[in-house]
Amino acid sequence: MPASPWPTSTPRPLPRAPTRSKIPADQRRSPLRTCVGCRKVRPQDELVRVARTGDGSLAVGRTLPGRGAWLCRGSSSCLDLAGGRGGFARSFRAPVSASALAELRSAMAADQQS
């Protein structure tokens, strides 16, 4: 009987399924998001989510429904940049009125003071 062209060694074991991360929860990084004003990528904890409601107004809240845009927490300059560059309109895929931006500016200023 002729010799087999295939090796006769034992097959390799299949790789194991990936396991959960062994990094403790307090050392894991939070998800990264991009500020629509300054365009810097930061951890989600350092940003505030702004959502557009059905009536066209803007509201601050992490769990609000709909499309959201992220802004640097406590930065009025990022809010000005996002309004001027059209960052909100791009993120929401809908126009944002100047009155909605003014309401958001006053709401964020009140949050900073409290």
Domains of the chain and CATH, by start: 32-113 (3.30.1230.10)
* Position 41, amino acid: V
Give the pLDDT of the chain (114 residues) as one tens digit per residue.
666 676 666 777 777 766 666 666 666 678 899 999 999 999 999 999 999 998 889 999 999 998 899 999 988 899 999 999 999 999 999 999 999 999 999 988 887 776
User: Residue 30: its pLDDT value, please?
Assistant: 81
List the beta bridge partners of residue 34.
Answer: 41
How many Cα atoms occupy the beta-carbon half-sphere of 101 within 13 Å?
20
